[in-house]
Amino acid sequence: MANVAIIGAQWGDEGKGKIVDLFTQDADVIVRFQGGNNAGHTLVVDGKKTVLHLIPSGALHPDKLCVIGNGVVVDPEVLIEEIEKLKAQGNLQDDSLLRISEEAHLIMPYHKAIDQARERLRGEGMIGTTGRGIGPAYEDKVARVGIRFIDLLEEETFQEKLSRNIEEKNIYLRAILKEKTLDFYEIHDGYAAYRERLRPLVINTSLLLDQQMRAGKKVMFEGAQGTLLDVDHGTYPFVTSSNTVAGNVCSGAGVGPRQIHQVIGISKAYTTRVGSGPFPTELFGSEGETLKREGVEFGATTGRPRRCGWFDAVAVRHAVRVNGITGIALTKLDVLTGFDEIPVGTAYRFHKKVFNEFPASLKTLQGVEPVYEKMAGWREPLTEARNFSDLPANAQKYVRRIEEILETDIILISVGPGREQTVILRNPFADSR
């Protein structure tokens, strides 16, 4: 048995959707354990692109059990839309293959209203949230006023909690944020309809996962965003509102740490970031524009253009350490084709001090200059490569050098968006070390 966690090793958007979809072929159960519909996993199968925001990527396979864990915050309207869209495409035809934790928290309309109003008030200091209410939903969870699926299923409990929350949130919206207030009955009736649609899918998913693992099933835990957006270990405050690292698999899915056998970190062969915040290796000239154009670097959820830069080994080393990463899946290596020289950021310099590890200080991160090691580029296209030996010599050297700097094996190389455009060096489901 091998249970595998798939984690973003940068600022998200690393291509986790494709990698999860690829390894889903060897898994029986796919679990989303944190985040909300601020994440977007893009999958390209037979030339057809599908973007998933809440439902695990295993939904594109006919026989895989998909689980939304208790650590996810769920907008039920978005979830139902996603279910219906998948069904219309011929996927997720069996409702028994999607299960939602009864302990997962709901995103409510007041969460979205607060999220969007706060960003407007921040002006130039905005964090760069998607405005989908994820942060405020997690705030309510920690403040112990959140509404869970189990509360939604109990009509009286839902009415009590919603009434109390609406009263408080409307005061905040009106007096502090200068926004319109929300109507209790409109929200209540809308969520009552969601209740009946989703009721058959809501169960104790922690117990379900334990039963699956006891039966010898292989489980894959699918993360959203990336390590550098982790609320504890990322570039705070320019982070998401949940723990994106592998340690949160346990609390976000309701499983014990001994049930995780491999942690695979997903990293682009360069670096991107959406939204505000420090980005030491960011490029501002033609090279950055080339990466953006060739890599089609636009957010799957928001459509926002991604900031682009060279590979930042300091940041990825940080991700390797805090996640306990056992292997790296390197994506979008093909995008680097055509560069004569490819710098790799190996350290940071700040006021004559060299940092080999990722600093916690936002002031330091915003002021550092990357220390680069320059590698020779290549001109040969990579999209037809299926074995490591198919790669040009300089592409092979680039991959091996990154392995050396990270002190971590690269187990997979993506050379295009398609499922088949992949070089697999090691399958984590075949190795339960």
Catalytic center residues: 13, 41
Gap between the Cα atoms of 224 and 56, Å rounded: 10
Contact in structure between 335 and 414 (CB atoms under 8 Å): no
Give the C-alpha distances (Å, rounded to integers) separating 179 from 30, 132, 163, 173, 199. Answer: 40, 16, 19, 5, 33
Q: How many CB atoms lie within 10 A of CB 348?
A: 24
286 CB-near residues (< 8 Å, 6+ apart): none
The values of phi and psi at residue 5, to 5°, are -100, 135
Buried b (16+ CB within 10 A) or exposed e, 176-186: ebebeebeeee
- Look up residue 226 and give its two tokens: 């990336």
Q: Where are the alpha helices (DSSP H) in 261-302?
A: 286-294
Gap between the Cα atoms of 307 and 236, Å rounded: 18
The values of phi and psi at residue 406, to 5°, are -85, -15
Give the C-alpha distances (Å, rounded to integers) separating 151 from 77, 160, 247, 254. Answer: 17, 10, 27, 19
The values of phi and psi at residue 36, to 5°, are -145, -150
The residues facing 106 across adjacent strands are 74
Gap between the Cα atoms of 88 and 99, Å rounded: 19
Gap between the Cα atoms of 30 and 427, Å rounded: 16
Q: Which residue has the tokens 């409990």?
A: 157
Q: Which residue has the tokens 């350290």?
A: 347
